[in-house]
Amino acid sequence: MTLDARMKERCAQVERALDRWLPPATAQPRQLHESMRYSVFAGGKRLRPALLLEACAAVGGEDDHALPAACALELIHTYSLVHDDLPCMDDDDLRRGKPTNHKVFGEALALLCGDALLTHAFLLLAREQVAAGVPTVVAAEVAAVLAEAAGSGGMVGGQAVDMDSERKSVGAETVEYIHRHKTAALLRAAVESGALIGGAAPAARAGLATYGAELGLAFQITDDLLDLESSEEALGKRPRQDEQLDKATYPKVYGVERSRQLARQCVSRAKAALECLGENGALLGQLADHVVERTG
């Protein structure tokens, strides 16, 4: 199976599970549940849950055990986009080719929608993981890994520094801090959670965590480059927004060519960290290449 076909399969698998585990749009309060489903089913690539599922599979774990955490992760990612698009943050009106959540449902409901998605993620981690047969001690550890990666010492912390760095002259250290926290922390946690659920040995868990962190940094550098060079059609959102908000990006600090090189170095480190998995790491290796080669 090609990587592309495999990713399509993962995407469908995750979307079926998300549909099962999200409150139905007919349940009260309807508008809130509609808004949650609007953003969750707005056409994401499901990279984070796919990484979690593939990491779990790479160490011999079962998809059924990993699906609740994979869905929780996608809800965390989606909530962060809904809040990030709000007027007081990046003030975006287009996401994945569709109007952003607050453009459709209003700011108050978009705020609450994000809050509800984040909360629901932890309901899946506490309830559906256990129902799926994940040992409670592992379920608790996965919830802790994801909460840590998503919180003030991870994603939200990275976003805070990102906002604070707009229209400032920032150095290499700051932009690496932002990217490692706002993006790479959650990708690393995706891979580490999959390893935990799959029962990885300590060495494999550590290797996968490094893989996830390096892949995550490569992903965000590539995002910066795409924002600069791609079209609205390919991105599904307005390009050159970083420039307009004068964001701290790798191209701003290093220039385009050096940024591309740094992203490739991350991918090399990511792939090197997979060596302990042997043949079982092949698909994750292909995924790492894909992340820097994508066009949207």
Q: Which residues bind a copy of itself (CB under 8 A)?
A: 23, 27-29, 31-33, 36, 79-80, 83, 86-89, 106-109, 111-112, 114-116, 118-120, 122-123, 125-127, 129-130, 135-137, 139-141, 143-144, 147-148, 150-153, 156-157, 159-161, 163-164, 177
Please, what is the end-to-end C-alpha distance for the chain in angstroms? 22
Tokens encoding 251: 């191209």
Residue 101: DSSP 8-state = H
Cβ burial of 133 (10 Å; 0-12, 13-18, 19+) is: exposed
Q: Which of 52, 9, 46, 58 is nearest to 282 (CA)?
A: 58
Buried b / exposed e over 87-117, threshold 16 CB at 10 Å, is eeebebebbeebebbbeebeeebbbbbbebb
Tokens encoding 223: 């995002």
Q: CB neighbours of 97 closer than 8 A, spacing ≥ 6?
A: 43, 236, 237
> What residue has token string 């809050």?
115
Q: At what angle do helices 155-164 and 63-84 cross, to 10 degrees?
A: 20
Whether residue 120 contacts residue 81, with contact meaning beta carbons closer than 8 Å, is answered with no
CA–CA separation, 288 vs 244, rounded Å? 29
CA–CA separation, 262 vs 240, rounded Å? 21
Number of Cβ within 10 Å of residue 65's Cβ equals 21
